[in-house]
Amino acid sequence: MTTYLSFIGMVNALGAALLLACFSDRVADVVLRRGAYIIAGDAPVTHTPHSRVWLAWATIGAVVFAGWNLAARAWPADIARTIVLGDAVAYGLFWVFAVVGTIARRRAGSGVGPGILAGHLLWPAQGGWGAWVWATT
């Protein structure tokens, strides 16, 4: 369980740092459009007030996930196990939202790039690993 908590905690800490960097339009363009191909199209990524709210929410969420997972390594096993179950459920929901969002955006003809498909691999893998750790500890 410690390996899982450490890995998920560090991935979320790194993710929070990347999200903070993405508050810069230039960095967000490099990461989301030119690097990961999450956003399709030739127009540079620019933030709207709404996208900055989403970015702040995602950053806070990543910091909370990182903190809980890293701290849970030292907590009693039953509490740490509850954190792992919460991770598994959250990653499962993230994946469902990614599927619905991908379908909706493609039907609307808006610019979803092939990089979004990484979420369709990453979140089920993290959620499945969490479910396995929860079930076997």
CA dist 126 and 23 (Å) reads: 26
What pLDDT does 111 receive?
Answer: 62
Contact 4, 130 (CB under 8 A): yes
What pLDDT does 32 receive?
Answer: 80
What pLDDT does 80 receive?
Answer: 97
What pLDDT does 99 receive?
Answer: 85
What pLDDT does 128 receive?
Answer: 96
CA dist 124 and 52 (Å) reads: 26
What pLDDT does 110 receive?
Answer: 66
Contact 20, 66 (CB under 8 A): no
Query: What are the backbone angles phi and psi of residue 90, rounded to the nearest 5°?
Result: -60, -45
Provide the token pair at 38.
Answer: 């999450």
C-alpha to C-alpha distances, 126 to 45, 59, 73, 82, 109, nearest whole angstrom:
28, 18, 17, 15, 29
3 state DSSP class of 111? coil
What pLDDT does 59 receive?
Answer: 96
pLDDT in tens, the chain (137 residues): 999 999 999 999 999 999 999 999 999 999 888 887 777 778 888 888 888 998 999 999 999 999 999 999 999 999 999 999 999 999 999 899 888 877 876 676 666 666 777 778 889 999 999 999 999 99
